[in-house]
């Protein structure tokens, strides 16, 4: 099956908690999250009449950070979707990777941003899932670690949904 607004709806129907109050797309500025936002936009208010908004985390770690922020703003303006940009400072403890520190800072900020009952949608796809599983196996993770990324988990005052875990990056790129 190729990725579409209908396939996104099917995953959300199956996994979005009954008490969900809105959808929030985590928008990085890349093609994967842009495709997710476009599909969510095409759903409109037809998915449980839930509101849709986007959030962009600005780590400021890359020279292209301003370009990513501007791309997110332009995309949201084109769809008339509210966008919140959250700047974060990434502390790097001794011995920790900058990627891990950035991920921790990002999820902390996203958790604080969620309003009660909102579902944060991230564009993790099947290749991300496979990479996570492989890394966990190489680290000698136990059963919990080898289960990789869940489709839905609590986050802040809402939930974190990964509705694209069975979608390939190629399908996302073809959609966008």
Please give the helix or strand (H or E) that residue 5 lies within, else none: helix 5-15
- pTM higher than 0.85: yes
Share of the chain above pLDDT 70, in %: 85
Nearest to 66 by CA among 53, 80, 55, 56: 56
Nearest by Cα to 16 from 176, 114, 155, 153: 153
Please state, in angstroms and rounded to a whole number, the distance separating the CA atoms of residues 112 and 78: 26
Helix residue ranges per DSSP H, 96-140? 98-113, 126-138
Q: Give the model's confidence band at 98: pLDDT under 50 very low, under 70 low, under 90 confident, else very high.
A: confident
Give residue for tokens 């988990």.
153
Please give the Cα distance from 84 to 72 (Å, whole number). Answer: 10
Rounded distance, CA 29 to CA 62, Å?
12
Alpha carbons 8 and 39: distance in angstroms, whole number: 7
145 pLDDT above the threshold of 70:
no
Predicted local confidence at residue 146, as pLDDT? 44
**Residue range 144-173: mean pLDDT, rounded:** 85
């Amino acid at each position: 099956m190729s990725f579409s607004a209908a396939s996104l709806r099917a995953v959300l129907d199956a996994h979005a908690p009954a008490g969900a109050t809105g959808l929030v797309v985590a928008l990085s500025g890349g093609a994967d999250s842009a495709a997710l936002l476009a599909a969510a936009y095409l759903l409109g208010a037809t998915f449980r009449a839930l509101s849709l908004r986007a959030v962009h985390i600005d780590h400021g770690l890359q020279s292209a950070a301003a370009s990513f922020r501007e791309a997110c703003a332009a995309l949201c303006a084109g769809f008339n979707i509210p966008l919140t940009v959250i700047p974060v400072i990434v502390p790097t403890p001794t011995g920790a990777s900058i990627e891990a520190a950035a991920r921790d800072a990002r999820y902390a900020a996203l958790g604080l941003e969620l309003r009660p009952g909102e579902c944060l949608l991230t564009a993790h796809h099947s290749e991300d899932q496979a990479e996570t599983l492989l890394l966990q196996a190489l680290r000698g993770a136990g059963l919990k670690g080898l289960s990789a990324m869940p489709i839905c988990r609590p986050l802040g005052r809402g939930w974190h949904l990964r509705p694209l875990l069975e979608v390939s990056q190629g399908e996302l790129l073809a959609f966008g």
